[in-house]
Amino acid sequence: MIGVDSNVLIYAHRADTQEHDDALGALSGLISDGKAWGIPWPCVNEFLAVVTRPKYFKEPTPMSIALTQVSLWAAVQTCELLNYTKGHLTTLAMILAQTKWVGQKIHDAGIASICLDNQVDELWSADDSFADVQGLKVFNPLRP
């Protein structure tokens, strides 16, 4: 299964981002290939928070459209919204011990933990810091 980080989703959704064409192409290709993929719930929340925020976009996405976008992704037969598991705290603690992340990086550690606990084979992200997580293969679909 491929996990998709919020930054890829944001770029795929927002045509006014420089990375839009690459992100949309990668996500569309993933969907058309029929591969299993998933979105960790914290990435859903972050997607909604970012695309609707006036601080980031001159014309932010209306919440109804942002929620519809998430619903459309979730409706794809090969997509799963990835949840916390009973072992989340153990996996999170392991990641934090490995990476020494603190502060805002705890959010990323939580995403990595959800991916590992849900048997994500590869996380698609434009955030290079996920490479610090042992056992989590990371791919940046925005790089040629």
* CATH top-level class of 2-139: alpha beta
Q: Which residues 6+ apart lie within 8 Å of 95 measured at CB?
A: 101, 109, 112, 113, 116, 133
Domain residue ranges of the chain, discontinuous segments joined by +: 2-139
- What does the pLDDT read at residue 11? 98
Give the pLDDT means over successive 10-residue stretches in the chain (144 positions). 98 97 97 96 98 96 98 98 98 98 97 98 96 96 88
- What does the pLDDT read at residue 144? 73
- What does the pLDDT read at residue 106? 97
- What does the pLDDT read at residue 98? 96
- What does the pLDDT read at residue 97? 98
Q: Mark residue 123 as left, alpha or beta (left: phi above 0; alpha: psi -120 to 50; beta: remaining).
A: beta
- What does the pLDDT read at residue 88? 98
- What does the pLDDT read at residue 67? 98
What pairs with residue 37 in β-bridges? 2, 79
